[in-house]
Amino acid sequence: MEPILVIVPTYCERDNLTAITRRVRAAVPEAHVLVVDDNSPDGTGALADELASRDPRIHVLHRPGRAGLGAAYLAGFAHGLAEGFEVLVEMDADGSHRPEELPALLRAVEAGADLAIGSQWVRGGRVLHWPRRRRLLSRGGNAYVRIVLGLPVRDATAGFRAYRAATLDKLGLEEVASQGYCFQVDLTLRTVRRGLRVQEVPITFADRTAGDSKMSRAIVAEALWRVTLWGLAGLRARLRRPRT
């Protein structure tokens, strides 16, 4: 497999970081891990430095403050592409994405996928310990994305995914301004519209057991607003096409 970089954004994830990096290194020993820390006040960044001092395949990117998930991943992508990694992985630090399922994503990329998404809403996928409201929000949000954007993806908001470096090079990352769930939809849409291959891989999503969720109403509102705008822009573009 090509050189692999697993990007793990962190903000106040000290209680989870040691375990998640250990599990990633055990699941895919050849992979490198990049912790992108947004100056966590709980000392996550200092812990990441300590872990990196003991393992040459763990690296740390310190950012001056909390700027959002999308910005953290864009910084991680830029670092990974500059360092010559061929496969770049997104993964949460809280344990909700199981590192033990990472090899399945990598196999999908190795088999030809330009983007492999760990999906909870395809056959074989499942969610553990989510309240009914959270399930409805995720299912409903993804249904809205499919209808409004015409995306052939069941879990476009998923944050456990693997990109080929060549895929990221084609997505116009310098134009991306979205965050949170919306960031994932944005990059999925860009991948599909460029005619690249997206494959969903069933995973088990388990809610965090330590630390606080970063989900907020603002993140949901941004996703709804941006998806609606993208859908309207796509509709206008279709209406303007000359009829043959």
Residues 180 and 46: their CA atoms lie apart, in Å, by 25
Contact at 8 Å (CB) between 35 and 17?
Answer: yes
pLDDT in tens, the chain (244 residues): 679 999 999 999 999 999 999 999 999 999 999 999 999 999 999 999 999 999 999 999 999 999 889 999 999 999 999 999 999 999 999 999 999 999 999 999 999 999 999 999 899 999 887 788 888 888 888 899 999 999 999 999 999 999 999 999 999 999 998 887 789 999 999 999 999 999 999 999 987 665 555 556 666 777 777 888 878 877 667 667 676 5
Q: How would you write the chain as a 3-class SS string?
A: CCCEEEEEEECCCHHHHHHHHHHHHHHCCCCEEEEEECCCCCCHHHHHHHHHHHCCCEEEEECCCCCCHHHHHHHHHHHHHHCCCCEEEECCCCCCCCHHHHHHHHHHHHCCCCEEEEECCCCCCEEECCCHHHHHHHHHHHHHHHHHHCCCCCCCCCCCEEEEHHHHHCCCHHHCCCCHHHHHHHHHHHHHHCCCCEEEEECEEECCCCCCCCCCHHHHHHHHHHHHHHHHHHHHHHHHCCCC
Question: Which residues lie below 8 Å from residue 111, measured CB to CB, with a gap of 6+?
Answer: 199
Q: Measuring CA to CA, which residue among 19, 23, 24, 22 is closest to residue 7?
A: 24
Predicted pLDDT of residue 40: 97
Q: At which residue do the structure tokens 């995720």 appear?
A: 138
Predicted pLDDT of residue 228: 84
Structural domains for the chain: 4-240 (3.90.550.10)
Q: At which residue do the structure tokens 């949460």 appear?
A: 92
pTM, to two decimals: 0.89
